Amino acid sequence: MKPYYEHAGITIYHGDNREWTHTGIGAVVSDPPYGMGWNTRTDRFSGGSQLSRSKRGVGRADWGDVQNDDKPFDPAPWLGYEQVILWGSNHYAQRLPVGTTLVWIKRLDGAFGSFLSDAEVAWMKGGYGVYCFRDLSQVAEARDRVHPTQKPLPLMTWCVQKTEGVILDPFMGSGTTLVAAKNLGRKAIGIEIEEKYCEIAAKRLSQEVFEFVSSAKSA
């Protein structure tokens, strides 16, 4: 598999991660397809406050399906790495050993239970603790999102900071994990099966000015 993009310690491969082998990986940090058949049409959400709607816009109906989200996710190929963080672990928890739970709190306390999920969880290899990170930018960033399941940059920065060594994201999407690694001066490798997202990730990584991570979001 030839690199699609390679610069300053960051490499992108376009292809199926099952066909890729590499040594020297320190940690796998990824948001894989959960196997939930997620409906990516955001124009079906019309509620919320006027402020939320003004930030979110009218939604999109052109994302298409998330690749491989129509079948159960098997984390087994990635569990052998020394350090692992996989989002969406509640969807395949029965296939995971005991480990640490990371929680992304997506909304203010007063809105808990009002619409969809209040939080998302990830499994981290080793340990037994539960650790939370609050980032409320999901709605505010909706107009600028370039992937239907894109995670906030501060969240993935938090994840990368919990690891050491070269980062591997085998389900790269729009490259947020790689952008976080770049901003932290870390080496990283991303693999993505859809070429359009390889192009988007490469453009994000080619920006000379790092994407802004506010101290408020990182708190």
Secondary structure letter of residue 41 according to DSSP: -
pLDDT, mean of residues 19-25 = 88
Query: What mean pLDDT is predicted for residues 103-116?
Result: 87
What would the mean pLDDT of 127-134 be, rounded to a whole number? 97
Amino acid at 205: L
The answer, yes or no, to whether residue 209 has pLDDT greater than 50, is no
pLDDT at 213 over 90: no
Q: What proportion of the chain, given as a percentage, has pLDDT over 70?
A: 78
Q: Which two tokens stand for residue 198?
A: 């390889």
pLDDT of amino acid 58:
61
Edge-to-edge strand ranges of the sheet holding 10-14: 3-7, 10-14, 188-192, 166-169, 25-30, 83-87, 119-124, 100-105, 130-134
Q: How many domains does the chain have?
A: 1
Here the CATH number for the domain that contains residue 139 is 3.40.50.150
In tens, the pLDDT along 41-89 reads 666 665 555 555 555 556 666 666 777 767 889 999 999 999 999 999 9
Q: Give me the domain span that covers residue 135.
A: 3-218
* Per-residue pLDDT tens digits for 63-72: 667 777 678 8
